[in-house]
Chain A
Amino acid sequence: MTSTLEIEINRNQNYVVISLCGEVDLYSSPKFRKQLIPLTQAKLPTIVIDLSKVSYMDSSGVATLVEGLQLIEKYKGNFYITGLTPMVREVFELSRLDSVFSIHESVEQLQRNQLIP
């Protein structure tokens, strides 16, 4: 069975954007984690997770994001989340994690606000 999650990684000089497309659940979240954790181990200064094409996320996806946040905070890097769809926003709000993450409208907005070059 093919994965319901596609992951695209765009590396730039000082930051990386991980774009997720599809559904993040207990089956697919390990695939996301496998991409995310090495980037934190490499201590990239800024990691952006773009969720604008995520139609579904369960608590395993949220747990992966929390783990990423905690790892990047250890070396005082930046962890930004962009493009919450209504479904994903509700999961964040119910988990009361909407105030824990730095959430932004889009990657372009991060650029306009000079949070990334």
Chain B
Amino acid sequence: MPEKTDEKYRNVSLRIPSNARYLKIVRSVLEAVGRMFDFQEHTIQAVLLATNEACANIINHAYKDEPNHFIYLDIYPSSERIQIELRDNGIKVAPEKIKPRELGDVRPGGLGIHLMRSLMDEVIFDQNYKPGNKLILIKKRSEKNDKHS
């Protein structure tokens, strides 16, 4: 059980290279934070997958698969929700250009945005952020099952 610290001191920050081999580290950190703050397992898995998809999109689209850049993550767990902010310094990606594909259109790719929106309560593209991109993912605690800490 985590100690009762002020919520503003629970922020965990992470910087990873824009290389897919580091995605496992992001998942491991999110899992640890989720468990530390008593989020339900289902909530943790949803956050983990949505954040993984967001990082994959940054690697593929903002950084065009170039591994010599960084992705910045800030994780904010609270009594109400868990929020993840992702920032990059890559090519500005217009949200309308990364619309999810129609699900009836069975083809490889185009699922990442759809999964993010399905799994999270809020997916916010901060279009004023410069340079690069800022994405905010929010998942609220499940009222019935997540314990508040």
Contact = CB atoms under 8 A, between A and B. Distances in A.
Contacts of B27: 56
Contact of A26 (B23, B118, B119): B23
Interface in A59-104: 59-60, 62-64, 66-67, 69-70, 87, 90-91, 94-97, 100
B135 interface: no
Contact of A100 (B24, B59, B106, B112): B106
Nearest to B46: A90
Contact of B56 (A26, A91, A96): A26
Among A56, A58, A62, A63, max chain B CB count under 10 A is at A58
A32 to B, nearest CB: 13
Interface string A3-23: 010000000000000000001
A87 B24 CA distance: 16
B88 to A, nearest CB: 15
Contact of B115 (A23, A26, A64, A95): A95
Contacts of A100: 106
Contacts, number: 62
Contacts of A87: 45
Interface size band for A: 20 to 34
B106 A66 contact: yes
Interface string A31-75: 000000000000000000000000010111011101101100000
A94 B20 contact: no
Nearest to B45: A87
Given A26-B59, A70-B107, A94-B119, A59 B53 contact: yes
A62 B109 CA distance: 8
B114 interface: yes
A25 B52 CA distance: 9
Closest A-B pairs by Cβ, 9 of them: A63-B108, A27-B20, A59-B111, A26-B20, A96-B103, A67-B108, A26-B56, A66-B108, A94-B118
Interface of A: 1, 4, 23, 25-27, 56, 58-60, 62-64, 66-67, 69-70, 87, 90-91, 94-97, 100
Interface of B: 19-21, 23-24, 27, 45, 49, 52-53, 56, 59-60, 103-104, 106-109, 111-112, 114-115, 118-119
16 contacts: A25-B52, A26-B20, A26-B23, A26-B52, A26-B59, A27-B19, A58-B52, A58-B56, A59-B109, A59-B111, A63-B108, A64-B108, A66-B106, A67-B108, A70-B108, A96-B104
